[in-house]
Amino acid sequence: MKTNRRTAIALFAAAAVACGAAYAQQRMFFGVATGGTGGTYYPLGGMLAQLISNKAVVDGKKISATAEAGGASVANVKLLGNKDIESAFVAADILDAAYNGKGQFSSGVIKNVRALGALYPETVQLITRADSGINSVKDLKGKSVSSGSPGSGQYQLLTDLLQVYGMTRADVKEDLSSFTQAVDKIKDGNLAATLITAGVPTAAITDFAQSHALKVIPLSGPEIVQLQKQQPYYASVPLPANSYKGQTEAVPTLAVMAVWATHADVPDNVAYEVTKALYENVKIMGQVHVQGKNISLDTALAVGTAPIHPGALKYFKEKGIVK
């Protein structure tokens, strides 16, 4: 029987649909919301998605994971609350605030968030140009400062920092740029300073330091002690010397743990497999970014008050870190 071109195309299309359906039946899809390309969530999230896709199988189906650039912690936890994505990277203080209805979530608690495990410490880096004349948080008064893109967890941090130094948001000219956008504005003289909370080294800051003299503002003293009483998730840490070009001395600052989170409706066996894929391949994560080396079962439970997903809990019990 002779087949004309139109019939052949129709047959091919039907076959492609059938193959696609069969392929879909053999795979399960799983999203990982990260952050902007200038931060640390993005490269680590990309490698995590690869690990899941290569290692995780549920009921004979491979899990096909994709990393998606997101709006950082606040936006990511809202995605989880709406079940718009299966997992996300979130700062521990933001996950705690969402679960308990505090801070930016005082009018909208998100009780369905669950933790898959803690990742690594995110360092608070308040950066400016070396010639800016800014030497302390108090010097930000009247200056332009970015608290990160809309949906960033740094919005609350800026509020808290200004408060302990006797200021409010009205005392600064606030900008809502991403890490990369903020750094570009500082280069051009259109922004005085920016808060960047991310794993060190942070790509956007590394880029800045290659072409401009960098200053990292210290965060220490009685004001910071007061902030830590309000936000106990922030620990005092040094930004190591030579983290960036020209930064030859350690700088006292703060850090908060990054957490890999999910929502309660993700099946237990899926949560188990993706958690296993991460913690049994941490060496590979360390090859993508130095902070990947800090992902460990030793700190996996440092997730705050949000419950750990039962699937992840099963894995941690098998590894002996939960009784």
Q: Which residues of the chain form CATH 3.40.190.10? A: 5-120+258-318, 123-256
CA distance 220 to 57: 47
Look at residue 323 in the predicted model and tell me its pLDDT: 85
The three-point CA angle 271-56-262 to 5° equals: 25
The CATH number that domain 123-256 falls under is 3.40.190.10
Look at residue 16 in the predicted model and tell me its pLDDT: 38
CA distance 158 to 160: 5
Alpha helices by DSSP H, listed for 39-168, are: 41-55, 73-81, 92-100, 154-164
pLDDT digits (tens, 9 = 90+) for 133-163: 999 999 999 999 998 876 677 888 898 999 9
Per-residue pLDDT, averaged over 279-283, amounts to: 95
CA distance 147 to 174: 7
Look at residue 238 in the predicted model and tell me its pLDDT: 96
CA distance 33 to 29: 13
Per-residue pLDDT, averaged over 268-272, amounts to: 98
Q: What is the model's pTM?
A: 0.82
Coil/strand/helix, residue 159: helix
pLDDT digits (tens, 9 = 90+) for 218-263: 999 999 999 999 888 999 999 999 999 999 999 999 999 999 999 9
Look at residue 130 in the predicted model and tell me its pLDDT: 96
Look at residue 175 in the predicted model and tell me its pLDDT: 93
Look at residue 148 in the predicted model and tell me its pLDDT: 80
CA distance 40 to 230: 26
DSSP-derived secondary structure letter, 142: T
Confidence of residue 182 (pLDDT cuts 50, 70, 90): very high
Look at residue 26 in the predicted model and tell me its pLDDT: 61
Per-residue pLDDT, averaged over 181-187, amounts to: 94
129 HSE (CA, 13 A, CB side): 18
Q: β-strands 57-58, 61-68: how paired?
A: antiparallel
Q: Please, what's the b/e burial string for 18-36 (b: 16 or more CB within 10 A of its CB; e: otherwise)? A: eeeeeeeeeebebbbbbbb
Look at residue 151 in the predicted model and tell me its pLDDT: 64
Homologous superfamily of 5-120+258-318? Periplasmic binding protein-like II (3.40.190.10)
Look at residue 13 in the predicted model and tell me its pLDDT: 39
Six token digits for residue 87: 């997992």
Report yes or no: 137 and 126 within 8 Å, Cβ to Cβ.
yes
CA distance 306 to 73: 15
